[in-house]
Structure 1
Amino acid sequence: MTARLALGTYRCLDVAEAALMAASNGADWVDTAPNYESGRAETSLAPVLAAYQYLRVSTKVGFVPPSAKRTGVRARALSADDAERGHCLAPDYISWQVARSKRMLDRTPDLVFLHNPEHGCHESEIADRLYTAFLALEEACNQRAVRAYGVATWRGFSSRLFDVPALLELATKAGGRQHHLRAVQLPVSLVHLAPVAQALNGHGVLTEAPQAGLEVFASAPLHGGELPGMVSRELSDLISPGITPAQAALAVVASAPGVKRVLLSTGNPEHWRQAAAALARPPLSPDALQRITDVLGT
Structure 2
Amino acid sequence: MPLDSEGVTTPSSLPPLGISTCRFQRISNPHAVVEAAHSVGIRLFATFPGLDDGFSESVLGNWGASLDHPPAAYVFLGLLEGMLYRRALEREREGTPYAELVRLHEGVAYCLHPSFLQEQLRESRQRLGRIHIRGVLLQHPELFWQWAASQGIPQEEAQHELLRRLEQAFAFLEQECQQGGLQAYGVQLEHPLGNISIPELCELATAVGGPQHHFRLLAAPLNLFEPKIATEPLAHGLTLLEEAAAYGVEVIVYRPLNARLHGRPVLLAEPPVEKPALVSVEHIRGQLREFLHLETQLLRLLTEQPLDGVHREMVRESLTLSLFLQDHWHEFASYEDWLTLESGYLADRFRSLQLLVEPLVTTAALVECWSAYRERFQQALADIGRLYAARAYERARRLREFLEESLQLRLPAVPFAQLALALLQHTVGVRSILIASTSAKHVATFAAAERLCLPPLERQQWLRLREAPSVLQHGF
CA gap of 1:77–1:57, structure 2 versus 1, over 3 A, is farther
Q: Which has the higher helix share?
A: 2
Alignment equivalent of 2:127, drawn from 101, 104, 123: 104
* Residue in 1 that maps onto 2:6: none
- Residue 402 of structure 2 aligns with an amino acid whose one-letter code is L
CA gap of 1:35–1:7, structure 2 versus 1, over 3 A, is same
TM-score by length of 2: 0.55
- Residue 102 of structure 1 aligns with an amino acid whose one-letter code is R
Pairwise CA distance, 1:54: 4.1
* Residue in 2 that maps onto 1:113: 137
CA gap of 1:3–1:149, structure 2 versus 1, over 3 A, is closer
Asked if the contact 2:20–2:435 (Cα under 8 Å) also holds between the matched residues in 1, the reply is yes
Alignment equivalent of 2:34, drawn from 10, 19, 23: 19
Pairwise CA distance, 1:22: 0.7
CA gap of 1:131–1:248, structure 2 versus 1, over 3 A, is same
* Residue in 2 that maps onto 1:254: 425
Partners of 2:80 and 2:95 lie apart in 1 by 14
Sequence identity, in percent? 26
* Residue in 2 that maps onto 1:94: 117
- Residue 220 of structure 1 aligns with an amino acid whose one-letter code is R
Deviations 1:49-104 (A, max 9, x none): 33442411101210125333465637947259647642211222112211221222
Partners of 1:79 and 1:175 lie apart in 2 by 23
Asked if the contact 1:77–1:96 (Cα under 8 Å) also holds between the matched residues in 2, the reply is no
Is 1:291 the counterpart of 2:464 in the alignment?
Answer: yes
Alignment of 1:92-171 (within 5 A): 92-106=115-129, 107-121=131-145, 122=148, 124=159, 125-155=161-191, 157-158=192-193, 160-171=194-205
* Residue in 1 that maps onto 2:21: 9
Q: Which 5+ residue runs of structure 2 have no aligned equivalent?
A: 1-13, 149-154, 260-265, 271-391, 404-410, 471-476
Segment of structure 1 superposing worse, 21-30 or 141-150: 141-150
* Residue in 2 that maps onto 1:30: 45
SS at match of 1:95: helix
* Residue in 1 that maps onto 2:293: none
Q: Which 5+ residue runs of structure 1 have no aligned equivalent?
A: none
- Residue 103 of structure 1 aligns with an amino acid whose one-letter code is Q
CA gap of 1:51–1:284, structure 2 versus 1, over 3 A, is farther
Pairwise CA distance, 1:139: 2.6
Pairwise CA distance, 1:138: 1.6
Pairwise CA distance, 1:141: 2.6
CA gap of 1:51–1:29, structure 2 versus 1, over 3 A, is farther
Segment of structure 1 superposing worse, 167-176 or 216-225: 216-225
Deviations 1:98-124 (A, max 9, x none): 122122212441001101122133452
* Residue in 2 that maps onto 1:234: 398
Q: Which has the larger radius of gyration?
A: 2
CA gap of 1:278–1:250, structure 2 versus 1, over 3 A, is same
SS at match of 2:133: coil
Partners of 1:211 and 1:249 lie apart in 2 by 26
* Residue in 2 that maps onto 1:209: 244
CA gap of 1:268–1:70, structure 2 versus 1, over 3 A, is closer
Segment of structure 1 superposing worse, 26-35 or 7-16: 7-16
* Residue in 2 that maps onto 1:58: 74
Pairwise CA distance, 1:263: 0.7
Alignment of 1:154-193 (within 5 A): 154-155=190-191, 157-158=192-193, 160-193=194-227
SS at match of 2:251: strand
CA gap of 1:296–1:284, structure 2 versus 1, over 3 A, is farther
TM-score by length of 1: 0.85
Asked if the contact 2:37–2:444 (Cα under 8 Å) also holds between the matched residues in 1, the reply is no
Asked if the contact 1:99–1:145 (Cα under 8 Å) also holds between the matched residues in 2, the reply is no
Asked if the contact 1:185–1:216 (Cα under 8 Å) also holds between the matched residues in 2, the reply is yes
- Residue 90 of structure 1 aligns with an amino acid whose one-letter code is H
SS at match of 1:232: helix
Pairwise CA distance, 1:242: 2.2
Alignment of 1:272-283 (within 5 A): 272-283=443-454
Partners of 1:179 and 1:142 lie apart in 2 by 9
* Residue in 1 that maps onto 2:312: none
Partners of 2:218 and 2:77 lie apart in 1 by 14
SS at match of 2:143: coil
Pairwise CA distance, 1:32: 1.0
Segment of structure 1 superposing worse, 181-190 or 100-109: 100-109
CA gap of 1:76–1:92, structure 2 versus 1, over 3 A, is farther
- Residue 8 of structure 1 aligns with an amino acid whose one-letter code is S
CA gap of 1:33–1:132, structure 2 versus 1, over 3 A, is same
Asked if the contact 1:30–1:58 (Cα under 8 Å) also holds between the matched residues in 2, the reply is yes
Is 1:267 the counterpart of 2:438 in the alignment?
Answer: yes
SS at match of 2:144: coil
